[in-house]
Amino acid sequence: MSNSKRAIKAEDFTKLEVFSDPRFSPDGSTYSYVSTTINDKKEYESHLFFQHVNDSEAQQWTFGDVKNSNPRFSPDGKQVVFQSNRSGLPQLWILHTDGGEARQLTTFKNGAGKPNWSKDGKHIIFSASLEADDDVHSQKEQSKEERQKEAEEKKKQPLIINRLKYKSDANGFHSNKRSQLVLFDMEKETFTQLTSDDTDHGYLDISPDGNLVLFAGNLNKDADYELISDLFLLNRTTKDITKLTNGEGAYHNASFSPNGDKIASFGHEYVYDGATLNELYIFDVKTKERTCLSEEWDIQLGDAMIGDIKLGQSTTGPIWAKDEKHLFFIATDFGATGLYQVTLDSDLKLLYKDDNHVFGFSYDPGAETFILGINTPTNPCNFYQLNSESELKRLTNANATFLDEVSIAEPETLTVTADDGWEIQGWLLRPYGFEEGKKYPFVLEVHGGPHAMYGQAFFHEMQLLAAKGYVVLYTNPRGSHGYGQQFVDAVRSDYGGKDFTDLMSAVDYVLENYSFIDENRLGVTGGSYGGFMTNWIVGHTNRFKAAVTQRSISNWLSFYGVSDIGYFFTKWELGKHLMEDPEKLWNFSPLKYAENVETPLLILHGEKDFRCPIEQGEQLFVTLKHLRKNVEFVRFPDASHELSRSGKPEMRIERLNHIGRWFEKYL
């Protein structure tokens, strides 16, 4: 098959423009969004754009080698507050929509972010990282030199730890600072600290009358031992805080109805621990009565799609309709995400869903229209307007030049019947320049999570492997989102069981049905849970001739104590923690089966991965090397668990090149 377009390359993700966070202006005639790119310095930068819904071109609002995000229109549409690191740290800035330079609002020592307007436009509420004795009235941003000096001094001091939750993959080692809510008075230009408890406060919304601030957090004395996230109402006048929820679950994405008498929220009560599907709840503000609208549904609310070009956050709902009788939200179902509507009587209606990934939306109550952010398997992102007649109009043409010159493989959707009759969804990519009659090597990709989902979305790593001449298969074995509560829960306490046979059934299926796959040249790779599964596969079968395990779990016994989530995730997923049944944890550990490994194995791991710490890769490497197995270990400096998605671009390229090198050598 001839192809006039070139094959995709490892570094091509640096040429992509990635969109996020569409936001209608108050009158609905325009919208803003964030565009993230990688500049010539191989660093991420993000900028604010503004577009009239009737125009074909967007206007860029911010410039420079900086990161701008979280744009929020004032209620009158005349100003936009946003977050930017142009001064050195993330701070709040304000920009007039009719032009002019941005003005800095905050100079907090540790930065400020996630701004939102009060409904009357008189105040801006934001989050700031503060210590117990910090004064919001005298905050001063440090210079670059002052920050560097403080960081150097900190390195000389021992780290004293007295909390269970003392580190996270996202933020490293935690300090004594807490995320507090602060209010900025636009007229007086003064700051008021709204919260002060020794916990992190996540701002969600403010009531239409401006008196009640809705936030999420855990104010319990045992919060360090809990994974609870309750909803709270803070009275701005009295400073009284009222708990809205029952202290048994995790609630998020909550918002007031237009008249302020109700609150809608996603959440769940850990019925299936970390595999529990989100529910949609309505709370009565006065009576605190809770109603579940999603009790009869069997879909995951929100976006569970996994990918390697997702940068920036976008709204997934729930969002109130102007009549207060409907709510809108994104949900994950059968390899795709779509936009849904529900009444307060739980009448669910699909507004838009196709073979793609709806990653965010904005609602205009005036015209009853939506801006949808859509990512497809062959197009990284664009924005579309969905009108009240369900007609879709494309607004942007992102990455057009790139897509014109590069060949993108179209995935073929598969349904595989597992050995016990369960149906497993997957996708197959044919190699670049595919020719009938030829035999091609094959790579199986296994996603992380495990409670996540591959699907109808652009995935650079998959496209790269196809471009290098491999048939690529990626599937959603049980444990994945998108197929209901029983399916996503089925992997728990069965790691390496039916999930393993699901994957092998998928490999068997494609070998039987696609004659162009060379059964003697099979490879496998995956990260996180996918890394665990890669390790498990090579310890339980020798059918693969090459394997690459990434940011993996190899030993559940040590994972319990070294991972930022190990002390609870281990029991969530395996049914027991270290002190309860160490033998069970060892039986689930790929390291136990190291003597069985005959497949050449490449281990890729970030040195600052706190989710699956690098000692997991070290143990596997040392054991296999000691057994004189064919193994190689690549350590990525300063790389966290997010290496493949938002890590340093140069390290991301190195990682892809190592994967390509290993498969080229052995397949």
In this prediction, what percent of the chain has a pLDDT beyond 70? 100
Angle at 410 (CA atoms; ends 405, 414), nearest 5 degrees:
165
The b/e string for 295-304 (b: 16+ C-beta within 10 A; e otherwise) is: eebebbbbbb
**CA separation for the pair 603, 625 (Å, rounded):** 12
What is the SS3 assignment for 339-380?
EEEEECCCCEEEEECCCCEEEEEEEECCCCEEEEEEEECCEE
From the number of C-beta atoms within 10 Å of its C-beta (0-12, 13-18, 19+), residue 4 rates as: exposed
- CA-CA distance, 69 to 426, in Å (whole number)? 34
* Strand partners of residue 336: 333
Under 8 Å between Cβ of 451 and 480:
yes
- The average pLDDT across 6-35 equals 97
Q: Give the β-pairing of 202-206 and 336-343.
A: unpaired
Measured distance CA(523)–CA(525) in Å, rounded = 7
Catalytic-residue membership of 641: yes
| Angstrom distance (rounded) from CA 500 to CA 526 | 13
pLDDT tens digit sequence for 237-264: 899 999 999 999 999 999 999 999 999 9
pLDDT surpasses 90 at 313 = yes
* 400 within 8 A of 479, measured Cβ to Cβ: no
Point out the catalytic residue in the list 255, 641, 644, 658.
Answer: 641
Question: What is the per-residue pLDDT for 176?
Answer: 86
Question: Which two three-digit tokens encode residue 586?
Answer: 């060892």
**Distance from C-alpha of 162 to C-alpha of 160, rounded to nearest angstrom:** 7
Predicted pLDDT at 390: 86
Distance between CA atoms of residues 369 and 388, nearest Å: 6
Among candidate residues 486, 571, 472, 529, the one with its CA nearest the CA of residue 227:
571
The pLDDT assigned to 60 comes to: 96
Pairing mode, strands 178-185 and 123-130? antiparallel
Tell me how far apart the 2 most distant CA atoms of the chain are, in Å. Answer: 77
Mean pLDDT of the chain: 96
> With contact defined as beta carbons under 8 Å apart, do 284 and 298 qualify?
no
* Buried-exposed string 153-166: b where 16+ CB fall within 10 A, e elsewhere: eeeeeeeeeeeeee
Query: Each residue of 618-665: pLDDT tens digit?
Result: 999 999 999 999 999 999 999 999 999 999 999 999 999 999 999 999
Q: Is 509 left (phi over 0), alpha (psi -120 to 50) or beta?
A: alpha
d(CA 273, CA 354): 30
* CA pair distance 604, 15, nearest whole angstrom: 24
pLDDT tens digits for 412-432? 999 999 999 999 999 999 999
- Answer whether CATH 3.40.50.1820 is correct for domain 403-554+589-666: yes
Q: What is the pLDDT of residue 129?
A: 96
Rg of the chain taking only CA atoms, in angstroms: 25
User: Residue 496: what pLDDT?
Assistant: 97
Predicted confidence (pLDDT) at residue 330 exceeds the cutoff of 70: yes
Band (3; pLDDT cuts 50, 70, 90)? confident
CB 51 within 8 A of CB 94: no
Q: Is 528 a catalytic residue?
A: yes
CA distance 103 to 566: 44
Residue 99 above 60 pLDDT?
A: yes
Q: Which has the minimum average pLDDT: 157-166, 294-303, 484-493, 653-662?
A: 157-166
The answer to whether residue 2 scores a pLDDT higher than 80 is: no
Mean pLDDT of 332-345: 98
The arithmetic mean of pLDDT across residues 224-246, rounded, is 95
Q: Which of 528, 554, 589, 644 is catalytic?
A: 528
For range 161-189, the mean pLDDT: 93
Alpha-carbon distance of 288 to 400, in angstroms, equals 50
pLDDT in tens, 490-533: 999 999 999 999 999 999 999 999 999 999 999 999 999 999 99
Give the Cα separation of 328 and 94 in Å (integer): 29
Angle, vertex CA 416, rays to CA 445 and CA 495, nearest 5 = 55
Please report the pLDDT score of residue 40 as a whole number. 92
Cα 599 to Cα 524, 525, 532, 633, 667: the distances in Å are 10, 12, 15, 14, 11
Domain ranges of the chain: 403-554+589-666
Q: What is the mean pLDDT of residues 365-370?
A: 95
Distance CA 251, CA 266 (A): 6
pLDDT at 389: 85
Q: What is the pLDDT of residue 510?
A: 98
